[in-house]
A and B are shown apart, each in its own frame.
Chain A
Amino acid sequence: MVVLFINGLEVSVEEGTTLLEASRFYGFPIPTLCHMDGLSPYGACRLCIVEIGEGPKAKLVTSCTYPALEGLRVRTASSRVVKARKMILELLLASCPQSKTIQDLASAYDVRTQRFKQEYEDCILCGRCIRVCEEQMMAKAIGFRSRGKKRDLGTPFDLHSEVCRLCGACLYVCPACQLRCTYSEPEKAICGGCANLSPPCLKKEGFEDMMCFMEPCVACEIKKD
């Protein structure tokens, strides 16, 4: 067992536990976007940052990747942490304002406005879909491409991937952006989309406003019965 201090509270956790798991277990909430139980930690959204260390050596680390170490002093909601989280949420809000998850997080941290130029992107590139595809579905059908501001995700050369089984897990795990069903615009679909799947809803008119093909699709199935 490893003994450490979270927000001053002395706690003990099993070796190999991450700070995120330890904090959540002891009831200290930490917001996350790119983290998902069952997937390897990625550390990309940086929302789960916590402060460790003392004095001038104190630094912010992502709790989803940092292991619980003996005697470590962790602060999950110090002013430095909250300030940084707010700025990250403001950046998120400036880029993906339509996401309910991001709106809720921002509101929980009292971020009411954002001061940047408003953008309307869907994807925050958290990589959950890519990891679920590789690690749980053993498919590796999608991946990141390019870097910097040109970074996006998709199949190689934007062609329908042979290893994609159209399981829909990528859509299911999306935390914020809700990869939309692009049944009417298959060229924008991440895996070739439902255009390849020919689900019942494709032929019907009543689902034009659907956000994600999984749920309406399920609805279709239910409707059919």
Chain B
Amino acid sequence: MERLKSINEFERLQERLVIDRDPNVPTIVIPAGTCGQASGANDLIRVTKRELLNKKWVDKIHLRITGCNGFCQMEPSVLIEPQRTFYPKVSPKDMIRIVDALANSQVLEDLLYVDPRTGSPIEKQEAIPFFKSQVRTILSRNEKIDPIRIYHYIENGGYSAMAKMLALGKPEWVLEEVKTSGLRGRGGAGFPTGFKWEMLARQPNGHGKVLVCNGDEGDPGAYMDRSVLEGNPHSIIEGMIIGAYGTGASEGVIYVRNEYPLAIKHLLIALRQARELGLLGEHILGTSLSLEIRLVRGAGAFVCGEETALMRSIEGKMGEPRQRPPFPVQKGIDGRPTLINNVETWANIPIIIGSGAQDFAKIGTKQNAGTKIFSLVGKIKNTGLIEVPMGMTIKEIVDEIGGGPATDAKLKAVQTGGPSGGCIPTSLFDLGIDYESLTQAGSIMGSGGLIVMDEKTCMVDVAKYFMNFLQEESCGKCFPCRKGTQRMYEILDDITTGRGTLESLDLLEELATTVKDTTLCGLGQTAANPVLSTLRYFRNEYLEHILHKRCPGGVCKELITYSINENCTGCQVCLRNCTVDAITGTKKEIRRIDPAKCIKCGACRSLCKFNAIDVI
């Protein structure tokens, strides 16, 4: 790779790459992010390579290995371009057929995605309900790019926003554009990015300013940042170069947790390639702009996602937050002014600068511009990463993209914002998802986890689960967070095991309010949300546990008993699979469960085909 010395040279390279590409060559796209690899995408890649080599079709059919496309449930999947045929859950054997069919320009009907509602197959990716309602400005780039090839990124318009900005030569214009776009921090708090940038730009440039990309994504069940880092690392680098130009920063740090090995690998390759090509380092494209970006790996503490803790972790100290002010933009890493933005925020920057702030501001709502990536998981038909415009209602997301409840059980709530978020009941499903309305409903946007829950979920148990997570992940520096989360867990544990009292419920609420009010950082201030929001919308479930010692969701083991009703046909499946021999009865007769022996593992219930096992 030769170092590019001017903007002109870059533009010529990009032109040449675009001309050299023939968009009509059939291409097999295999998403191989962490999710894809875990479900077998590497086998598909191997099979495809072998087939193409053996049959000497290497020039006839291209193969592209990309990051996650979002429909993680259907992995390993294959996308055929330019027809855009989508094959879900492909086995290595089917892969051979797909390659052969593609050579003959055929579509394999039997392997296509089948819409569970209509039962009919759908060929094009865009027509699949999961993809249809999304606005994929960031995620759609994943499938076009092989993350370890910088030329792929440049060919698809990458780094042209940066070149455009450098050609214009006005840092103030960058700040103005980001402000006009109305982009707000995607890390969860929703602080207007443009204002933050302006604040950094105004700081005196004593020992150099620092930009940080916060990739410490620790929410259970959320993996938006991972997919962007794995699938399109150059977009982050480009965003940071633009940020450095606008704010006058000279150093960049990408902080990624070490649990994301693939993201780290792709980032290191991307950084090296960008440096070799002259897009990073001294005098980028021959201009006065210089930026060095380094990668810092986090040891996987949830609290390090909090910006002051993150800075300490980058400094090599113990990851614990400190009181603000001074804010990071005033005094950050090693005392230098520091700007911290989330992965998704950085990924939005090239789009804003590239296609114009006005266009960006048109997506979403007035106060909440742009799109947001959510990881949609839980008791729904389609799970995966989705990107929707801000302000889309929960109902649309759950019903149209998620495909509705996965089983017969009715949906009950959706949990947003990870462990520090709250639960929103079905009665509020018409709520448009944006920063303000979620906060008003007692939850938070957070980094973007959406967990859908149905009637078989116990809300007290949910609160207990998150509280357990938080009591372990609280840094322990400030007393009300450390002890408060422990004590809340203790009370919740009492309630789920039938030892709760009405007084303890009052104490729980009082404690939760104090923890919210008095703790040091964002983790503590939101730590009470799981308790407060479930108390707000599902107080009757708490009361049911306390007064009647019953768990309506049938989850809390101490409060439920399994029994068999008259639907039982005497098939003996439950009897044979009971690990503790608690089920008795002879053939063709309704079985009985011995409550003294039953360990409430639920195996019988999940195996019974006749809905004969009751949980009370």
Task: Give residues in A with beta carbon < 8 Å to B.
Answer: 41-46, 49, 60-62, 65-67, 80, 83-84, 87-88, 91-92, 94-95, 115-117, 124-127, 143-144, 146-151
B-chain residues with CB within 8 Å of residue A65 when the two chains form the complex: 322-323
B-chain residues with CB within 8 Å of residue A150 when the two chains form the complex: 472, 476
- Asked whether any CB of chain A lies closer than 8 Å to the CB of B503, the reply is yes
Say whether B518 contacts A147, CB under 8 Å: no
In the bound assembly, the distance between CA atoms of A46 and B481 in angstroms comes to 10
In the bound assembly, the distance between CA atoms of A150 and B474 in angstroms comes to 10
Chain B CB within 10 A, most for which of A41, A66, A116: A116
CB distance from A106 to the nearest CB of B (A): 14
CB distance from B493 to the nearest CB of A (A): 11
Say whether A45 contacts B479, CB under 8 Å: yes
Q: Which of B350-358, B360-368, B437-445, B483-491 is found at the contact surface with chain A?
A: B483-491
A-chain residues with CB within 8 Å of residue B511 when the two chains form the complex: 87, 91
Chain A CB within 10 A, most for which of B472, B486, B518: B518
- A–B Cβ pairs within 8 angstroms, 10 of them: A43-B478, A65-B322, A83-B514, A91-B483, A95-B483, A116-B487, A144-B320, A146-B476, A149-B482, A150-B472
Report the interface size for chain B: residues with CB under 8 A from the other chain.
Answer: 34
Say whether B482 contacts A151, CB under 8 Å: yes
B-chain residues with CB within 8 Å of residue A143 when the two chains form the complex: 318
In the bound assembly, the distance between CA atoms of A127 and B322 in angstroms comes to 13
CB distance from A180 to the nearest CB of B (A): 21
Q: Mark B484-527, 1 if CB is under 8 A from A, else 0.
A: 11110010000000000001100100110010011110000000
Kindly identify, within residues 511 to 563 of chain B, every residue whose CB is under 8 Å from any CB belonging to chain A: 511, 514, 517-520
In the bound assembly, the distance between CA atoms of A162 and B519 in angstroms comes to 35
Say whether B301 contacts A147, CB under 8 Å: yes
B-chain residues with CB within 8 Å of residue A149 when the two chains form the complex: 471-472, 474, 476, 482, 486
Say whether A84 contacts B518, CB under 8 Å: yes
B-chain residues with CB within 8 Å of residue A80 when the two chains form the complex: 517
- Asked whether any CB of chain A lies closer than 8 Å to the CB of B212, the reply is no
Say whether A147 contacts B517, CB under 8 Å: no
Say whether B514 contacts A62, CB under 8 Å: no
Say whether B514 contacts A92, CB under 8 Å: no
Say whether A46 contacts B471, CB under 8 Å: no
- Asked whether any CB of chain A lies closer than 8 Å to the CB of B303, the reply is yes
In the bound assembly, the distance between CA atoms of A46 and B517 in angstroms comes to 10
B-chain residues with CB within 8 Å of residue A116 when the two chains form the complex: 487, 490, 507
In the complex where A91-B487, A125-B479 touch, is A147 in contact with B474 (Cβ < 8 A)? Answer: yes
B-chain residues with CB within 8 Å of residue A91 when the two chains form the complex: 479-480, 483-484, 487, 511
A-B CB proximity, top 5 nearest: A151-B476, A65-B323, A87-B514, A43-B323, A148-B472
Say whether B514 contacts A84, CB under 8 Å: yes
- Asked whether any CB of chain A lies closer than 8 Å to the CB of B325, the reply is yes
Which one of B483, B484, B490, B518 lies within 8 Å of A60 (CB-CB)? B518
In the bound assembly, the distance between CA atoms of A148 and B479 in angstroms comes to 10
B-chain residues with CB within 8 Å of residue A43 when the two chains form the complex: 322-323, 478, 520
Kindly identify, within residues 319 to 346 of chain B, every residue whose CB is under 8 Å from any CB belonging to chain A: 320, 322-323, 325
CB distance from B310 to the nearest CB of A (A): 14
In the bound assembly, the distance between CA atoms of A148 and B475 in angstroms comes to 5
Say whether A44 contacts B479, CB under 8 Å: yes
CB distance from B491 to the nearest CB of A (A): 8
- Asked whether any CB of chain A lies closer than 8 Å to the CB of B3, the reply is no
In the bound assembly, the distance between CA atoms of A124 and B478 in angstroms comes to 10
- Asked whether any CB of chain A lies closer than 8 Å to the CB of B170, the reply is no
In the bound assembly, the distance between CA atoms of A93 and B477 in angstroms comes to 18
Say whether B478 contacts A46, CB under 8 Å: yes
Say whether B507 contacts A115, CB under 8 Å: yes
In the complex where A84-B518, A88-B514, A116-B487 touch, is A44 in contact with B303 (Cβ < 8 A)? Answer: no
- Asked whether any CB of chain A lies closer than 8 Å to the CB of B11, the reply is no
In the bound assembly, the distance between CA atoms of A79 and B503 in angstroms comes to 22
B-chain residues with CB within 8 Å of residue A42 when the two chains form the complex: 477
A-chain residues with CB within 8 Å of residue B514 when the two chains form the complex: 83-84, 87-88
B-chain residues with CB within 8 Å of residue A45 when the two chains form the complex: 478-479
Say whether B479 contacts A88, CB under 8 Å: yes
B-chain residues with CB within 8 Å of residue A95 when the two chains form the complex: 483
B-chain residues with CB within 8 Å of residue A87 when the two chains form the complex: 480, 510-511, 514, 518
- Asked whether any CB of chain A lies closer than 8 Å to the CB of B461, the reply is no
A-chain residues with CB within 8 Å of residue B322 when the two chains form the complex: 43, 65
- Asked whether any CB of chain A lies closer than 8 Å to the CB of B396, the reply is no
Which one of B318, B325, B479, B482 lies within 8 Å of A67 (CB-CB)? B325
Q: A45-B478, A115-B504 are in contact. List 16 more A-B contacts (CB 8 A).
A: A42-B477, A43-B322, A44-B477, A46-B518, A60-B518, A62-B520, A83-B514, A88-B479, A91-B484, A92-B479, A115-B503, A125-B476, A127-B477, A144-B477, A147-B301, A149-B476
